[in-house]
Structure 1
């Protein structure tokens, strides 16, 4: 169950981590989107402004700047109309003369404009002209269709309109090049825009073009970040010049009383909560709470030609992260499915591990009671557990044989039979095919073959020769004088040089044998014999006791054998 719990915790942590990272990615993408919107607003305005700026610069040098009466000014209508058709963002073109005369052509592209100027239904343009006749201003209004056919003319009577005192005219007078006014309300058409102006320095007259800021609102609408998002652009005077609801930008507070919408007039709780919780007035980007929802707010300055404005974007977090939530839910379902599929696998694997471990624990219980007779027999498909079981069984066998060896040492009084029994035990432990025990005689000049033992028992009719301890040409004698164990190869070609008899090969029915030799020493460190383990293998690398731990065990057993021989020699003395 712990394994299953870990799987569940892992699935939960993985799902949470995946959701967090996905949310971070989408929030980062949202911030990049806000930056992109700011860039598009700049680009949209410049796209509208640059051609108009060039047009104003050129037309401020045209003949209309010197025309003194309406008749000559009307001759310029084809050029002015072609400009307006090429630049639809221009709503009107006008000339303010230094003698207070005025000429303007406006586009009539809506029912509101037709009604506002009392124009015929087929009218496409309206022209207002103010000129002085006998010192008095005469205001005339003319209507034209799309082909510039005159549809009608009105005498508008007396007017006090003076272009030279208008802000756009005065801005041009104090500027050395084409410039742009701050956003203001076009009272006649009920829209917010800017005026691009340039003065002819020779005459003092000013040419101007009006551009509405509807393109900014259109950019916001095109880039609306979420269904409930709030987006607007406002000036330093907190006047809203673009929003997702452009029809609400101009506020009518009474008959013929229009004004630009102020931030304070929005009556929008989300925007109010944003400014109350905003740590900075500008360039802020943070989360805030409104109406029980978590929102992300962006308020950054944008620099446009002629003025600096502020872009405000507010969006609910759950809408911005809707895709992240969908991915999170899908990820959680996948994680749950994986965990559910993994639980049976985990239980199976856990059982594969726990079952043999339980069996191993049960079968080793007798070892706690010093009972080494019950065999440890555990099988597992897991290699480490199988290795543990094999090592445990090997340990049990070694302890069992050591106990048997100790009993033999303590109970057997017949010395020759004791050595035979101990030799048999060592053969069993070392998995050898046979063993040959040489004992140093009393004169310490010959090695006497005392016991030859095979898997069938002790062989008394072996006829192995005695070996002189000074005959160092023989491999077995060399091994006797060595301090460490050695591996010798015995075959028919080498029986004479090893010191053995070919009957050793005959006894085991082999053409080649490998012998592991262990010099035997008494407690004083003197050599008293040589113990040889015989293996019927072709290569020394196939000998089981070559493993360091195994060899140490066999070396300890031969040490016990040497101790037994030394004790018997002590009794004989």
Structure 2
């Protein structure tokens, strides 16, 4: 039921009302939160972090220096500052050792004296430190001493003390005696200052790590107390303050020398090998990199901005590094008794956005809450939309699967969806109709039926009751009637293109379907009755048909008695292209098949015309093969009850039968027609006759020479006559052997050898005036000097024609040929040919004749047959195979041969036996031929089941009526020839 138009709204209206409210609410809330909190969070986060880090760095320095400052003040009041010998000084060390045990940041405590003496106490808390001093394993402290007595060389000693300050041993270390505290910076600064001093960070002489010295000149004494502190704890403080993954922190001096960095390897650097001694030196701030941007740039900017002045200024900046913003701050760190240090901090701004991300997370929660509220509203609206949309989606899926079985029945309150359902229904019907017509066109193979099918289908689309199809004439000047719709007048006239009525001419000129009113004579062109009553609504749909090259090939005219939908005309116009292509394709296929059939017949006729001994063989074998194939197709019982032929099968059999001997075009005529043993292009018996004639002349010449020389005329005549009689008898024997009528027994071959032993004299060169190939064969042996005596009969080297390499078939040849190939292509030796045991053919010539089936298979296998004709070479090439596998060229057995190939073998043999147009033999009668074929069944040469079908179906009788002479057709009792009947008997 249709919903009233007042209750329907557009899809855009429904979706816009719901989603605009949601989008505006969520967007406003997120925007307000982000705008109000973002800048505050970033600023506060960076300021808090930097201030906290600076405060912690100052506190760390305070914690670092406090133990050292206290130790210096306390030690300055100890007796050690007044002790003059090593023993006295060692006695005052236990209180001092307590400072080293309580403050791990203290590296060592020492006292330097104005006379150059020096004593230092250093802890050895681990194995590494003990090894560095070469101390015993139990050593807890090492005392390093330098004593300078007046008049004596300085003395350097290492004393090793245990945990309870017991003495474990000592070593003379004369290399240490060179150490003079009076030239060290800490001593010099303390001497010049009034109170404690702190040196700049430096690399300790003994331990090679970075630290500072807190020193104090003890008033009223010659001693100066020093305490070394390491800066490792400051580096640890910086590491703890590295709150983000990519934050960089560094403490440096005014000269950019590194004081502390989370990565201690960047604080102390080894000098290059070229530097003196390779001693370590203080690292430079340039070693610290921010993704490729160095902190020195920030530090220099801080110095230039006056950060190191007394104003205690802090430099804060915002840098862009690789397109990413960074927050940077350089702050001064004031140290009592020392020049200021500076703390540089650089943090990616993105890593400072932690709070901002929390803000975004809160925003997401808010969005989720808003969406939870919006879900019921959205689902209510979606429910109204989804049901018809789902139905249309299911219909679209059916269309995608080409399922057009059910109509589309979808109603919706949304105008666009309702209209879409109607459009899809029309589209579905149109596609279904289009596919049905295309299927019908594609399935129809008969051209005339195709024309009537097109008329019927197109007429059904536009509602036409009359119609006709015209096809263009061969000269492209006339439209000739080809089909008319059922019920219309069946006699239509051709129409010249130039004389077509207006609507028809306009459709052809516009190259599209055209609808126009039609009556009278124009109506008759469309297959209508020109005398029909006038109907103002009657119109004709004229569809010009153009092929793929744009040439007019025909026209379709359809008449309907009422006005139709214009869209149907457009639909017919869209179909016209497919219609024209279908017509053109069928015409091309029909033309190509006709051309192919003519070509096949031309080859067969050429083969039959090539030799008078084949006659109509190539035309009769196809007929007999097809007759036998149809008999097998019609059999309802027996071994061939399941053999059913399709039209494609019949076409393949027809082509294979007509081309079964196409390879004979390669067989020389003089081999096929060889009537005598010495015959090639001519009969070489004439050459031998001339040699005998020469010998007979020689006998006469010898007789007259003897008479001229006074010999006995009667004796000479008797000798001459005997010689002539022997030559006549020998030539008669040679001529008889040449005919091939008798079997060549060994004694006859021996007589040939005796005759060949006689010689005759040749005085002329046999290598002039001949062809190149024969000359090449003769030149394989040197030419003898003339005159030369030659055998009367001979097998000469030039008589051998060698086989070309491409004529040889390997056992794995692609065609599967299994042939015993003679060594030579031809052997034309005179003795070799005359000694043939039976017939007139040598082994080489017999192979050449049999080779026609090889060439047939090769020629046909190279043709691009369509799929349904791919087995033509197999069908055509098997008719010389035998059931027992002794045939050729593949030595197939009956089980390996197709039924059609076995049928063709029977047809080939029966036609050869009964053919009456062979000049060398008389055609056999029916009974004679059938009897011979019966023996061939027993010998395993032909298929017994097929031969039985050949007899029982009467194919032999039908063939005889069509192709055999009346005198050959005698009475036949097929029961006497049937293989099964013979077996039963």
Q: Kindly state the Cα deviation for residue 227 of structure 1 after the two structures are TM-superposed.
A: 1.7
Partner residue, 1:212:
230
Which of 52, 64, 83 is equivalent to 2:80? 64
Deviations 1:103-131 (A, max 9, x none): 10112234442333222333221111111
Please list the CA deviations of residues 436-495 of structure 1 after superposition, one character each: whole Å capped at 9, or x if unmatched. Answer: xxxxxxxxxxxxxxxxxxxxxxxxxxxxxxxxxxxxxxxxxxxxxxxxxxxxxxxxxxxx
Aligned to 2:785: none
CA contact (8 A) 1:225 1:315 kept: no
Query: In the alignment, which residue of structure 2 is the partner of 1:325?
Result: 357
Is the contact made by 2:142 and 2:158 (CA closer than 8 Å) also made in structure 1?
Answer: yes
Report the Cα offset of residue 206 of structure 1. Answer: 0.4
- Rate the CA distance shift 1:279–1:267 in 2: closer, same or farther, 3 A: closer
Name the structure 2 match of 1:39.
55
1:107 is aligned, of 123, 140, 145, to 123
Q: 1:30 to 1:342 in 2, by over 3 A?
A: same
Distance 1:285 1:178, change over 3 A: same
* Aligned match of 1:86: 102
Q: Does 1:182 align with 2:204?
A: no
Residue 153 (structure 1) aligned with residue 153 (structure 2): no
Alignment correspondent of 1:242: 260
Partner of 1:540: none
Question: What SS is found at the alignment partner of 2:148?
Answer: strand
CA–CA distance in structure 2, aligned partners of residues 132 and 278 of structure 1: 47
Match of 2:283 among 261, 284, 288: 261
Q: Distance in 1 between matches of 2:247 and 2:63?
A: 26
TM superposition shift of 1:322: 3.2
Aligned length: 349
Counterparts in 2 of 1:310-389, with a 5 A limit? 310-335=342-367, 337-338=369-370, 341-342=373-374
Do the aligned residues in 2 keep the contact of 1:285 with 1:299 (CA within 8 Å)?
Answer: yes
Separation (CA, whole Å) in 2 of partners of 1:273 and 1:49: 27
SS of residue in 1 equivalent to 2:351 = helix
**Contact 1:213/1:241 (8 A) holds in 2:** yes
Contact persistence 2:112–2:181 (CA under 8 A):
yes
Structure 1 partner of 2:906: none
Counterparts of 1:294 and 1:219, CA distance in 2? 26
Shift of 1:275: 2.1
Maintained 8 Å contact 1:93/1:210: yes
1:112-154 deviations in Å (ceiling 9; x for gaps): 4233322233322111111113332100011223222333311
**For residues 175 and 277 of structure 1, do their structure 2 counterparts lie closer, same or farther at Cα, with a shift above 3 Å needed?**
closer
Q: For residues 166 and 75 of structure 1, what CA distance do their matches in structure 2 show?
A: 26
**Structure 1: 5+ residue stretches without partners:** 349-573
Structure 2 partner of 1:166: 184
1:376-395 superposed Cα distances (whole Å, 9 cap, x missing partner): xxxxxxxxxxxxxxxxxxxx
Shift of residue 164, structure 1, vs aligned partner: 1.2
State the Cα deviation string for residues 496-529 of structure 1 (Å, max 9, x = none).
xxxxxxxxxxxxxxxxxxxxxxxxxxxxxxxxxx
Residues 1:302 and 2:318 are matched in the alignment? no
| RMSD over equivalenced CA pairs, Å | 2.9
The structural deviation recorded for 1:29 is 2.8
| Cα distance in 2 between the residues matched to 1:252 and 1:107 | 25
1:128 aligns with 2:144: yes
CA 1:274–1:206: 2 relative to 1, 3 Å: closer
TM-score by length of 2: 0.33
Instruction: Give the deviation of 1:276 after TM superposition.
Output: 6.6
Larger strand fraction of residues: 1
Distance in 2 (alpha carbons) for counterparts of 1:72 and 1:107: 20
How far 1:90 moved relative to its partner?
A: 1.0
Which residue matches 2:244?
Answer: 226
Q: Structure 2 CA distance, aligned partners of 1:273 and 1:210?
A: 29
Q: Which moved more, 1:242-251 or 1:332-341?
A: 332-341
Structure number, greater radius of gyration: 2
Quick one: structure 1 residues 142 and 13, their matched pair in 2 at CA, closer, same or farther if it must change by over 3 Å?
farther
How far apart are the structure 2 equivalents of 1:277 and 1:127? 41
Cα gap change, 1:312/1:16 in structure 2, threshold over 3 Å: closer, same or farther?
A: farther
CA distance 1:40–1:330, change in 2 (3 Å): same
Q: 1:138 to 1:17 in 2, by over 3 A?
A: farther
Tell me the residue number matched to 2:217.
199
Q: Which moved more, 1:284-293 or 1:162-171?
A: 284-293
Q: Distance in 2 between matches of 1:271 and 1:100?
A: 48
Any residues of structure 2 matched to 1:497-536 within 5 Å, and which? none
Q: Does 1:138 align with 2:155?
A: yes
Q: Aligned-pair distance for 1:300?
A: 1.6
> SS at 2:137's partner residue?
coil
1:19 corresponding residue in structure 2 = 34
The 1:13/1:152 distance shift into structure 2, 3 A limit, reads farther
Q: Displacement of 1:3 after TM fit?
A: 8.4
Q: Which string of whole-angstrom CA distances, capped at 9 and with x for unpartnered residues, describes residues 72-126 of structure 1?
A: 0110121111121122221100001001111101122344423332223332211
> Deviation digits for residues 226-264 of structure 1, max 9, x if unmatched?
122111111111111111112442112246410111012
In the alignment, the residues of structure 1 paired with residue 258 and residue 299 of structure 2 have an alpha-carbon distance, to the nearest angstrom, of 20
Does the 8 A contact of 1:27 with 1:321 survive in 2?
no
Give the superposition deviation at 1:16. 3.4
| Residues 180-233 of structure 1 deviation map (CA, whole Å, 9 limit, x = unaligned) | 222121131122111111112212320111111122111111222212211111
How far does residue 308 in structure 1 lie from its aligned partner after superposition?
1.1
Q: Deviations over 1:37-90 (max 9, x none)?
A: 211111122123223212211211221111111010110121111121122221
Q: 1:422-441 to 2 correspondence within 5 Å? A: none
Pairing 1:464-479 to 2, within 5 Å after superposition: none
Pairing 1:49–2:65 present: yes
Determine whether 1:76 maps to 2:114. no
Counterpart of 2:121 in 1: which secondary structure? strand
**Cα distance in structure 2, aligned partners of 1:301 and 1:214:** 20
State yes or no: 1:290 paired with 2:312. Answer: no
The equivalent of 1:530 in structure 2 is none
Q: TM-score, normalised by structure 1?
A: 0.56
More helix by share: 2
Cα distance change, pair 190–6 in 1 and its aligned pair in 2 (3 A) = farther
- SS of 2:172's equivalent in the other structure is strand
Corresponding residue number in structure 2 for 1:553: none
User: Is the 1:108–1:125 Cα contact (8 Å) retained in structure 2?
Assistant: yes
Structure 2: how far apart are the matches of 1:270 and 1:335?
A: 40
8 Å CA contact retained: 1:92, 1:209 = yes
